[in-house]
Structure 1
Amino acid sequence: MNTEDNKNNAIAFYKMAYEGNPKNAIKQYVGEEYIQHNPDVADGTQGFINYFERMQEEYPDKSIEFVRCISEGNLVALHTHQTWPGNDQYVTMDFFRFDKNGKICEHWDSIQQIPKNSANPNKMY
């Protein structure tokens, strides 16, 4: 298992889907199964495709910055900063599990909107 390949593949997968090509992302980076833990996205590859196609149609001008990527064993964690229309900003943490063939097979995430005011001067990303 190559953790550097897994890191690069997790970033490429998420970027490709986020920017509007989830079908190709699934084709290139996902294995036999895809277990989804985000309650807003249906389980399996088709649920993932449907969600990201809808997001691209409704919010084509959204953007993503990959701030950190950490890999251990068959797990990769991505820390991102997302900007959506109206300057709504979010911090996400996505976790991907890779199968023995180096393909993504499971996903968890946590999403938090960046508030307008903070009790400290530090960025959330």
Structure 2
Amino acid sequence: MHLSILSKASVAIACLSLGTSGSPLHQPTSFCSPSYPATGWEIRDIFNQFVDEWVYQRNFSDSAAKYLSPNLIQHNPQIANGSEAMVAAVGPILANYDGPNFSLVVVDEEKGLAVTLNRYVGKPGTGLPIAGVADFYRFDGTCIVEHWDVIESLPPNSTNPDPF
């Protein structure tokens, strides 16, 4: 399901459109340039392309090289700083999950902040539950320089029919 809803100020909420129209930056091998003063629409376009490549295509190495700072500041206590550490951590984890079967993308262009909300389902035989994941990213110029995440697994005795 792909929707777009505009809300107050410069915050826009949109489900990811898999067919992006191309970046005003003409698809370079790397968008990561803190010195480039990106416009809000460039940040939005870059982030949508990052989400498509990272979340849906799961092309972690190439998308990290293109969109993440090599010195990425990581706020997940189980992952070291740097884009290489993020690739090394995320690939093996997501190999055990199908999905996402839901993704919501929020971008605040003025502040250079972006969020994804995703729901993943453990692959058969792994015993992994449904997991809701919120990833928060901060841009400097056209480069993602900081990452936070919040991960919640659905407990077997959940009383909430709509947890994620």
Q: Structure 1 unaligned runs (5+)?
A: none
Is contact 2:114–2:137 with CA below 8 Å preserved after alignment? Answer: yes
2:151 corresponding residue in structure 1: 111
Specify the code of the residue in structure 2 equivalent to 1:68.
L
Q: Structure 2 unaligned runs (5+)?
A: 1-38
Instruction: Give 2:131's match in structure 1, choosing from 90, 100, 117.
Output: 90
In the alignment, is residue 36 of structure 1 matched against residue 62 of structure 2?
A: no
Is contact 2:134–2:149 with CA below 8 Å preserved after alignment? Answer: yes
Alignment partners' CA distance in 2, 1:28 and 1:90: 27
Instruction: Output one character per residue of 1:45-100: Cα deviation in whole Å (capped at 9) or x when no partner.
Output: 2211221343356x2x5332343111113000111101123351100111001111
Task: Give the structure with higher Rg (CA).
Answer: 2
Specify the code of the residue in structure 2 equivalent to 1:92.
V
Aligned length: 119
Specify the code of the residue in structure 2 equivalent to 1:88.
P
Q: What is the TM-score normalised by the length of structure 1?
A: 0.78
Instruction: Write the mapping of 1:69-80 to structure 2, written as runs, cut at 5 A.
Output: 69-72=105-108, 73=110, 74-80=112-118
Mark the CA change 1:29 to 1:13 in structure 2 (over 3 Å): closer, same or farther: farther
Q: What is the TM-score normalised by the length of structure 2?
A: 0.61
1:52 corresponding residue in structure 2: 90
Is contact 2:70–2:84 with CA below 8 Å preserved after alignment? Answer: no
Alignment partners' CA distance in 1, 2:101 and 2:87: 21
The runs of at least 4 consecutive aligned structure 1 residues that moved more than 6 Å come to none
Specify the code of the residue in structure 2 equivalent to 1:63.
G
- Higher helix proportion (structure 1 or 2): 1
Alignment partners' CA distance in 2, 1:88 and 1:105: 30
Q: Alignment RMSD, CA only? A: 2.4
Further displaced range: 32-41 or 72-81: 32-41
Matched residue SS, 1:4: helix
